[in-house]
Each structure stands twice: as C-alpha cells, then as structure tokens.
Structure 1
Amino acid sequence: MQARKFFIKVLVFSLLNAAILTGILLFFSGRQRDVRLDIDVTESNLLVMGENQHYGVAILGTSRGRVLSRDGHHRMLEAILGERVINLSKGGGGGLMPAELHLSHFYSRGNTVDHILYLVDPWVFFSAINNEHNDFFLRDEPFELSILWKLILDRYPPDRIFSYLQMIAVDDWAGISRYAGPGLTKGTLRRIDRTKLEEARQHYLERYGKGNFERYSRFVDRINAMALKNGSRITYVMLPLLIPDFPGLKAVDRKLSAAAAGGGHVGYVNLATAMQDRRFFYDHMHFNKTGIAHFAENALGPILRGEAPTLETGVRSEPQ
C-alpha cells in the first residue's frame, strides 16, 4: 500500500514538473516571430520565411545552396528565375535531416511553395556531421517548441538539443545570424588544385559511416512525402563537383534516379560533371557571382520551366 502511494506521488510530482517545464518552454516559444530580417543580412531561415507566405521556389541544401543568396545575390537569383524564392539551405554542411526539419517548419507556419529545388551534395547521405551531429543548422535560429520536439522525436543527440535550448537567451538576432564571410563570392579560384581535391576526397571518406546511407536516404522519402502532402513539386539537382568520381556519388545517383522514376511530383537532374571551369568558383566547392548567375540561368531556370539544363552536360528526369 505504501509503495503504491509512493509511486502515485512520484508520478504526480513528475507530471507536475513536466507541465511546468512545458509551460515555460511554451512561454519562450515563438517570441521572435515578429522579428524580420532580410536574407541579405542573415543566415537564419525562421527570421526570413514569415507565416502564411507563398513562394514560387524553395531551395534546400548546404552552404553550396546558401551561397546563391549571400552577398546580395538573392535578388539577382529571383530576377533570373522570375520567381519569389525562399532559400532554406544551411551553411556549415546542413544535410538531409536538417533540410527535412527546416522544410517541415516552413510548412507548419502555413507557408506554401510551388517547386522545391534540393541542391544535392553526395556526402550528406553518408556523414553524421552533416545530419544529427551538425552543430550549425540551428545556431542562428530562434527557439520554437515544435522544433525542439522534432529534435527529440528524430533522436538528435543531447548536445544538439541543449545547444538549441540556449537560443532562448539570444536577443541580438541580427548579430548572431550574420554571415561571417561576406564578399567571398567576388573572388575567383586561381587554379584547380588536384592535390587539394584528393585531400578533400580523403577528408570526406574518413567521415563516411557504415550503414549511414540507408539511414539518411530515408529522409529523401520523408521530404518527398511532405512535398506531396503540401502540393509542391521537388527536383533534386546534383551540384557540379570538381572532384571526379566523388565517393558515394553512384549510390546517391541510383537513389535519386529511383525516386524520380515514377514521375509525379519528384524529379532529378545530375550535373556532377558540369561547370568544370575554375572561373565559376571562389574555392573548390562554392560558386562565385559568375557561377551563381550561370547556374541559375542555365540549370535552375530551365528546370523550373520543365526543360533540360543548357549546361555542357546533365542527365534529366523531370516531373510532368
């Protein structure tokens, strides 16, 4: 009898504390929704996207997608594409799990988009540092209880969850979310250094985990289902790679080709071997201003119009 009473007391105490904690978190959740920053001056997604907004195009990806909107190039991108664009890419190597989380929150705020362009880097299918162990993709985002709950449900590690809780204390969002490397897109890669490219290949290989591809590729299916549910088309675009035969590229190509094979709302374009000219890059991975404009005009624009990219190469499978 005493044990039963003790158990009931512990249960009531635990539920009471959980309710208090939830109430506190609800109080802080969404307190920054009235803060609006221009994409030219922030790396944040939540402070740009707004609520109940409609966009023609949404972009997902790593810093190689985010660069399309840096250094004031977002308006150039919108002018070339002729669409209102929301760039949900995350610098610091945000992979499939971060992309799925940001797209989910985008829709949860009542936003809609016609066409999602996921600019793909193959390593995000293999490396934990680009997914649940990525410590950048929420570093510049305000606290939302729904995002915290998703982190828990998707089994992000405790340090990522605690790191996100620290966003509650942030006040200077313009400062904390400002891009740290402005002006890089003005530069041009001096030469393609094969030694550095080989070092980069080994760097990525060291971070590839056994069994990760099967785990992370499931998020492609989740993203596709989410897009379908919300009435959006999605096209995966394998970005140009200066590293030949990039590790894991063939497996990713097969996965995305299979996803697009049924037609419908999913498409896939492989441009891994396109744009092999140093003049399009400021380093061995990221487009400069010339590369951004060329890629938007000759790849993204045609894709949105249901046409084949006009770059020098590319395999196309588009939704009808």
Structure 2
Amino acid sequence: MNRRTFVKASTMGMLLSQSSLLFAKNSSRSEGQSIFPKRLKEGDTIVLVAPAGALNQKVELDIAVESFQAMGLKVQVGKHVLDRDGYFAGKDEDRAADINDAFADPTIKGIFAIRGGWGCNRILPFLDFDLIAKNPKILFGYSDITTLLNSLYQRTGLVSFHGPVGVSYWGQDQAQQMRQMIFEGGKFTIQNQPDKDEKALTQRKNRIQVINSGSVEGRLVGGNLTVLTSMVGTPYFPDMQGKILFLEDVDESIYRIDRYLSTLQLAGKLQQLAGVAFGQCTDCNPEKGYGGFTLLQILEHYFKPLGIPAYMGGQFGHVRDNNILPVGVKVELNADLGSLRLLESPVS
C-alpha cells in the first residue's frame, strides 16, 4: 500500500473535531518566534520512533540503528516502534506517546523517524505541544513526517529537519551534511551535487529549471506536497506569509500535483509566499496521449504569475541523495543557482 492509498484512508472529520479541542488546550507560539534545538555531539543518545507506517521487516530497524551508530550516536528504540495496527506502527495514542516520552526524557537529545508512510495527521490530537515547546529537541524525517515538522513549527516555533528517515539510504554525503548542520551548527549553502560523469560536457543529472529568476530571504516551511495539502484548514497548517516553501512528492500523477497546488491556491496560501523551491517528484510521469501537461508546465501555471523567485529540480525528496532542509530557519533562496543559503544556525 503506497502513501496515496494511506491518505485516502484518513478520517479527517474526526481529526478536525479532536484537534480543535486540543488547539484550545495548548496555546500557540508568538508569531515569528523560532526555537532552536540543541546541537548533537558524539555519544549523545537519540531515539527512533515510528509515528506513521509499520515496518515491513525487523531488519529495517537493525539497519537504521547501525546507520546512526556509525555516526557516533547511541540509539534507543521507541516502545511502540515494532507495534502494528493495520498499516500503522501501533495505535494513534501509542505512536504519539513515543514522541511525547522522547521530548520529556532529558537523556534523549534527538528524535528520528524510522519511516514515513501515512499516519502522522492522526496522532496530532495526542501530542503535548506545551511539553514539546518546553523541551526543544532535534526532530528529523521526511515524507509523512512533513506533518510533524510543520505542525511543531506552527504550534511551538521548534526548528526541525526534513531529511532521510532511519530506513533511508545513509551515505557519506548525508552523514557529512548532518554533521555540518546538526553537530556543528554551520551556516552553508544547500544545492545540488555536480554530475559525477566526468566525461559529460555539461550537467545532465540534478539540473535546476528556473521558473522565476531572482533571490529572496524568508523562513523555510514545507515538505511533501500531498501531506502538506492534507493539513489545509487545520490549526496545524504552517503560516505561509513571507515564507519560502519547499515541496516534493512521489508516485503521483501530474493531474494530482495540479489538484494539490490548486487547493493551496484556492485557500490563499500560495499568494502569501516569498519564494518556492520544488525538489524531486519521483515517478510523477505525464499522462499518456494528447493534452497532457509536464510537471514544469503545472508549476509554471501556479508560480509564474506570482512573480516570486522559484525553481524546480532541487536535490531533495524521495531520492537517494536527499539533502537536509531545516524547517523554520531563515534562508536565502536563489532561483538562478537553485540554492538555499542558511542565514542562521539551525541549532543552538
């Protein structure tokens, strides 16, 4: 079962009624205020959580643990990581409890999702945002984890990280970027790697396509387009005013990308943006036959009229070499270079 099927399985009516009650209980942060988690250091303990889909095999957990150990970290495993409730890694309350417990535990310095899938929307009513705000820590993941990254930033101001989950490919490039960003707190530029084909006369892979030229500064929000759109109309959807939006997706028809962007436009969200970086849309192929649109044509339809700096082809999303992007950090987007330059350290 893929992520799109998971999204169809949601019961948003129940979620909205529960979340409205919780929203009244937990106060929102002051607008514009960001909270920076403490940086990691070698020997720190992190915890693996499964806030969405269930693991297919236990060996996936073993690989994830070993990957983080190779980066000099001690690894604990959330109590419910190996649970199963249908296609979820346990019941909604239990998956949320692992996250709440991790933020409450002073020995835990970072929280890493072991996989995505579908299910993070369902645990939002059970998260203790007041507890999270008082105990800021690194939260890391992507795909369905888009829900957590953006809701935590919206509700608490916590800066978090869109990057590989535990079962993702972790190579030297990903480890080095995590060390620069989360261990050292460096301010550097995130952009595509050069083509490794030294015989090619020009860049063939990881190419940027400019939608609107220019550069702009703003705080970074976003993630998976499908998941982000599923949050529209809830108190967890991130404020878009003056923000730089980054988007990616996987296994979607072009008309669905069109549908999601139309939803954001009709909700008045796209018009508030300062800039857009669209990453990879893996296995998002044009419809066959006459009359189909390319992904670039759809993006141009929505972003060109806005006149804001925008590009597509960023090296982030459901790809092996997935760049890490800090949600809530001020960056400079340069559409002509296809780059995001960190203007502040993402950790304290």
Q: With structure 1 as the length reference, what TM-score do the two structures score?
A: 0.36
The structure with more strand, counted as a fraction of residues: 2
**Rg larger for:** 1
Name the structure where helix makes up a greater proportion of residues: 1
